[in-house]
Each structure stands twice: as C-alpha cells, then as structure tokens.
Structure 1
C-alpha cells in the first residue's frame, strides 16, 4: 500500500490545526516529513493510526520551529521504544546540513542519556545535498534546494513502487529553478496560505507564501496531475476544502 497521510495542514501560528506535516505509507512502514512544532506530532500519529514504531525514516525540510521541533519528540519516543525493546531496527533523519546539525544539537542538549546513547548506533542523521538521490524504504528520493528567501529549505521528489511521482515544495512558493524535479508530478504538495480574495487580509506574498490561484497556476504550467495544498490559514476550516478547490479549478 502507498498512501499519503496528512498529520497537519496549518501554518506556523495554527491553534485549531496542527502544523504542516505528513507521512508516506509504504506497506507497514512510514516515511515522516516534518514534525510540526512540538509533541503534538505524537497525538497526530495516534489519531491517524500510525504507530511510532513503524516510522522508519524522517525528512525535515528546514529549521523553522513549526517544522523541526516535533522531530525532537519523534526521536525521543523512538529512543524510548528502542530502550524498552519495542522498536526494532534503525531510524534515520534526513535533511540538509543545517537541519541535521540543529536536530543533533537539540537532542544532545534536551534528551536523557538513555535516548541519546542510541544516536549513531541505531538513530542516524544523514545530511543530503541539493540534487542528491537516495534509496529509502524501497523508493528513490531526490532532495533539492527550493531556493528559499528566508531560510535554507529542501524539498523532495520520490517515485513510489506504483510509479506515481510525489513531490514536495515545502512551505514557500514554487521557484522555477526546481522545475526539473516537480514537472509532471502525479502529486504535488505545496503551500497555499489563502484564497486570492483573502490576500489583502493575510498578505501572503509579503510573508513569501502563495495564494491558491498562484499555486494552481504554477501546477498547470508544470503539468501536475494532482495538487495538494497545506500550510494554510485556519479561519475558514468549515469552507476551506470547497472554496480552495473552486479557486484552484479557475487557476487550472
């Protein structure tokens, strides 16, 4: 089974939704992308019926608090389950060098020795370079720089066993320099902070974010088959699905 499971679709200041993060299910194992802003990642996994012991690998896009801090909690729980003999095998965290350096440092400073003594023995940190290809859980991943204007951030492209291409652009607008990685994706995951009609209210472009029309127009030009929005505002939860899809249809 190949399945995308979203654990959060909210922006950095979300209080009703959890911060943007998701998992790719491959059989009985999961590849986690970002951890949100804290230990809420654990309850989100529970709600989605994702056992922490089935998360084998993780990728963290960048060091903003709403993406990286939950990774510390994932590592803490996996370290606990390793200590108790429940978690079998190893766990690897991927990210660009700055992300890896921060997570390692944060773990060493905040986690008990019985967890940190698993680091470099069963818990591994793997820095990836722009354009680097890595085989993870039987899938080919290509990690790439999204050319963030705020903080270095990587996205990825993966080809699933069913040959579906899933690409993630992180939480900033599409940059044409990444076209080679995301063009013709079957599933493109990208941020869309709000509707174009709400742009004056939220000022997404001033925050280096997109509107739905921005993202859907880019997706059309890239020949994307399916578009998934996240990192959104949370004031319109009741109508968000309908209105975002309507605006996306106009963009497409």
Structure 2
C-alpha cells in the first residue's frame, strides 16, 4: 500500500507545527521529501513509526533553511546506524548542485568526522537536472526545475503502482511552465500560505506564495482530482483544516486535503 506520511505542514516561521516535509512510502521503505529545519524530523519520524533504517532515499527541493537544515539530523542518524553496523545499503540524497554544496558545508561545520566520513562512501549524492528521471523504490521519479524567481528549486512527478499520477510543485505558486507535469494529475501537492480572505494579514504575494483560493483555482484549471495543500501559516492551526477546505470548495470541486502534522494519506 502506498502512503504519504505527513511529517510537517508549516511554512518557515511556524511554531505550532513543523516545517513542510513528508514521505512517500511503500511498505517499510520511504522516499523522504524535504527535511524541515531541525531535529523534529527525527521525533516525527518516530511518532509515525518510520525507522531511520527504512529511509534510503531523500529529495531536497531547495536551499531554504526550512527545507534543508533537517538533512543534517538525517545524515547524523543514518551515519550512527552505519557505525553501529545496523544500516543496510546506502542513503541516496537527490538534489541539485547548489544543495549538494550546502549540505557538505553544513555537515562539515556541524558534525564530527566520524559521521561525515560516511559521506561519499555510504551516504551518496545524486545530482538532479531538469527533466531527469531516477528509479526510486518502485517509482520512476521525474524531477523538474519549477522556474523559481527566488532560487533554484525542483519539484517532481511520478506514477504510482496503482497507476495514479502525483505531482509535487515545491513551495512556490504554479506557473504555466509546469503545465505538462501538473495537468490531469490525481494528486497535486501545492503550497497555500494562507486563506485568500486573510491575504492582507499574511501577505503571501510579497513572499511569492499562494492563497487557498489560488491553489484551488489552479487545481480546477488543471483538472486535478485531489489537491493537497501545505506550507501554511499556523495562526489558525486548530481550525486550519476546516477553514481552508471551506474556502477551497468555493473554487475547486475535487477532493481537498489539508493535512495536519502526522496525518497519513492513503494514495
């Protein structure tokens, strides 16, 4: 059974939830998509009963600290298991060249040599380019440049074992350059920084982010079946799910999922 395990749902400055990251999981193996900004990645993996020994593939979309900093903790945890003789195979990190440089810099500064010496031997990088495809677990995953106006960032698309198509667009708004990846997909993972009705409070457009209305209008235009909205503010955390779905239904007639941290989505 293919699942999405939601590890975090928030934007960079949240304090009531973790930064956006998740796994796509098939049995006991997992593709980790981004890592958030701290070691909460480890505790949330534990809460979802995902062992570090079941993570052999990580994708880092871009260099912002709320997406990349948690990789230091993943590397440390994996390296410790390697040292202890408890980790089979290698950890592969899929990311573009700027992220490779950043991760190497962070780990060299923050981790002891006993951990960093695993990098290049058992912890490996796979550099991604626009429209490159890698076989990861049971999926052919195509990575693409989202054409960010801020810094180089990648999304991906894949066809699941059940034949359904999933697209992850990173943490910036959809643009027409991404039509071929997002059109007619079964699951669209799209950021939604805040409610449209609260755009004057959270100012998403100044940060190059979307509102719930924007994400839902995009999903409708693209004939998406299920829209998953993430990378949100957390001031409405207790009622976020209902508020976002209620606003979203005005602009999108398909299925809307607004997950909380630690939710599990069956694909």
TM-score (norm. length: structure 1): 0.98
Q: How does 1:26-65 map to 2 (within 5 A)?
A: 26-65=26-65
CA distance in 2, matches of 1:49, 1:224: 31
Greater shift in the superposed pair: 104-113 or 92-101 = 104-113
Name the residue aligned to 2:136.
136
CA distance in 1, matches of 2:116, 2:108: 6
Gaps of 5+ in 2: 253-267
Q: Provide the secondary structure at the position in 1 that maps to 2:13.
A: coil
CA distance in 2, matches of 1:92, 1:15: 30
Name the residue aligned to 1:78.
78
Instruction: Please say if residues 104 and 125 of structure 1, whose CA atoms lie closer than 8 Å, have aligned partners that are also in contact.
Output: no
Greater shift in the superposed pair: 51-60 or 102-111 = 102-111
Q: How does 1:202-221 map to 2 (within 5 A)?
A: 202-221=202-221
Q: Provide the secondary structure at the position in 1 that maps to 2:240.
A: helix
Name the residue aligned to 1:93.
93
Q: How does 1:161-180 map to 2 (within 5 A)?
A: 161-180=161-180
Name the residue aligned to 2:160.
160
Q: Provide the secondary structure at the position in 2 that maps to 1:4.
A: strand
Give the number of aligned pairs. Answer: 252
Name the residue aligned to 2:13.
13
Deviation at 1:38, TM superposition (A): 1.0
Q: How does 1:113-128 map to 2 (within 5 A)?
A: 113-128=113-128
Name the residue aligned to 2:111.
111
TM-score (norm. length: structure 2): 0.92
Name the residue aligned to 1:182.
182
Q: Provide the secondary structure at the position in 2 that maps to 1:114.
A: helix
Deviation at 1:105, TM superposition (A): 2.3
CA offsets per residue over residues 7-56 of structure 1, 9 Å max, x none?
Answer: 00011001110000000111210100011001111011111111111111
Residues 1:198 and 2:198 aligned together: yes
Deviation at 1:183, TM superposition (A): 1.2
Q: Provide the secondary structure at the position in 2 that maps to 1:238.
A: coil
CA distance in 2, matches of 1:160, 1:109: 38
CA offsets per residue over residues 111-151 of structure 1, 9 Å max, x none?
Answer: 22222221121110111001111111121000001111111
Instruction: Please say if residues 90 and 123 of structure 1, whose CA atoms lie closer than 8 Å, have aligned partners that are also in contact.
Output: yes
Instruction: Please say if residues 8 and 18 of structure 1, whose CA atoms lie closer than 8 Å, have aligned partners that are also in contact.
Output: yes
